[in-house]
Chain A
Amino acid sequence: MNERARLLLTLADDELILGWRNSEWTGIAPFLEEDVAFSSIAQNEIGHARALYELAARELGTDADALAFDRAPEEYLSAPLVELRRLEWARTIARHWLYETADAIRLESLRGSGDRDVAGIAAKMDREEAYHRIHAEMWVDRLLGSEEGRPRLEEALEELWPYALGVLDEALRPELVRRAEAKFGRPLPVVEPVPRGRHEAELADLLEEMTMVRRSAPPGARW
C-alpha cells in the first residue's frame, strides 16, 4: 500500500472508530439538548470517514463500504485513543477535546500538502471540526470550573494523555503538549505515548458488532 492510501486510511479509520464510539451516546447523553448536539458530531465524523474512504477506494480499486467494513482487524490503522470504550462523560469529554486538538494540528499540516485532494479534504474537515472544537472547549471549561467536574476531568486526562500523544506523528506532538498545557493550566507528565500499530482489545469487539449484519450476507450483497 502506498503512502497516500495509508495516510487516507489512517485518518478514515480514526474518524470511523471515533464516530462509532460517539454514536454509543445516542439516546443516553446527559440531557436531550446535548444528545442532539453530540449526535451531529458523531455523524460528521462518519461523514469524514466516508469521504476519506471514497478517496482511498479510488486509489485501491474498491469501494468505501468495503474499506470501512470488510478489512481484517489487524488491517485497521486507527489510533488506540479512539478505540477505547469509555462510556463515561468525563472520559468522553477528555477524549473529545484531546482528539479534536490533535486532529486540528494534523489537519493544519495536511492543508499545506502538495496533494490537492488531500489538502482539499483536510480543509473541509477542519472547517467542520471548528464546531467540534467549540463544543469541546465549552465542556472542558465548564467541567474545569466545577467542583464535582474538575477532579473527574483531571483523572480522565491523566488516563488518556499517553493515548492522545500517540494520535500524532512525533514531529507534531510538542504542539499538542503546548496546547493541552495551556488549556489545563498546568504541566502535563512526560510519558511514553501509546503508539499506533497495536490495537486495544476493545477494537475486536467493536468490529465484531459493527460488521455482524454485513457479514450475514455474502460479499457484494446490497443493504
Chain B
Amino acid sequence: MSARVFEVFRRERAGAPMQHAGSLVAPDARFAEIYAREQYGRRGESDALWLVPREAVDQVDGFVDEFDLKYRRVDGYSIKERLKEARERAGTTPAHAG
C-alpha cells in the first residue's frame, strides 16, 4: 500500500498519559480518524487518541553515559554506613530500633 502510515497514541482513562498503541494505514487524516476510533476505541478502551503521521515522528535514542555520572542520581548515594556512624557518635537510638 502506498497510503500513509499513522501512529496512534491512546489515553486509557482520564489522567493517564498518552501511550503509543500501534499504527494504521489510511489515505488521509479523515479516514485515519475513523479507523483509529474503531481499532482503538470500539470497546470503550480509550479515553482519547492522538493520530500522528509517521513522518512527523522523530525518534531520539542513543543516550550516552560514559563516565557513570552517579552524583546526580539517587543510586549515587549510600548513606547507611555514615548514618550508623553518626548515630553511634551522638549516642542516639535509631528511629526504628528492633
- Do chains A and B directly touch (beta carbons under 8 Å) in the complex? yes
Residues of A within 8 A of B (CB): 31, 33-34, 36-37, 40, 131, 134-135, 138, 142
**CA of A131 to CA of B37, assembled, Å:** 10
Q: What 10 A-B pairs are tightest by C-beta distance, nearest first? A: A33-B35, A37-B38, A36-B38, A138-B30, A33-B24, A37-B34, A40-B38, A40-B42, A135-B34, A37-B35
Residues of A within 8 A of B30 (CB): 138
The smallest beta-carbon distance between B8 and chain A, in angstroms, is 11
Produce 1/0 per residue, B21-32, CB < 8 A to A. 000111100110
Residues of B within 8 A of A (CB): 1, 24-27, 30-31, 34-35, 37-39, 42
- Which of A33, A34, A40, A138 neighbours the largest number of chain B CB atoms within 10 Å of its CB? A33
Closest chain B residue to A137, Cβ basis = B30
Indicate if the CB atoms of B1 and A134 lie closer than 8 Å: no
Residues of A within 8 A of B25 (CB): 31, 33
Indicate if the CB atoms of A138 and B34 lie closer than 8 Å: yes
**CA of A195 to CA of B53, assembled, Å:** 47
Could you give 22 example pairs across A and B, Cβ below 8 Å? Answer: A31-B25, A33-B24, A33-B25, A33-B26, A33-B35, A33-B39, A36-B35, A36-B38, A36-B39, A36-B42, A37-B34, A37-B35, A37-B38, A40-B38, A40-B42, A131-B34, A131-B37, A138-B30, A138-B31, A138-B34, A142-B27, A142-B31
**CA of A131 to CA of B35, assembled, Å:** 12
The smallest beta-carbon distance between A40 and chain B, in angstroms, is 6
**CA of A36 to CA of B43, assembled, Å:** 12
**CA of A134 to CA of B38, assembled, Å:** 13
Closest chain B residue to A138, Cβ basis = B30
Residues of A within 8 A of B27 (CB): 142
Residues of B within 8 A of A131 (CB): 34, 37
Closest chain A residue to B35, Cβ basis = A33
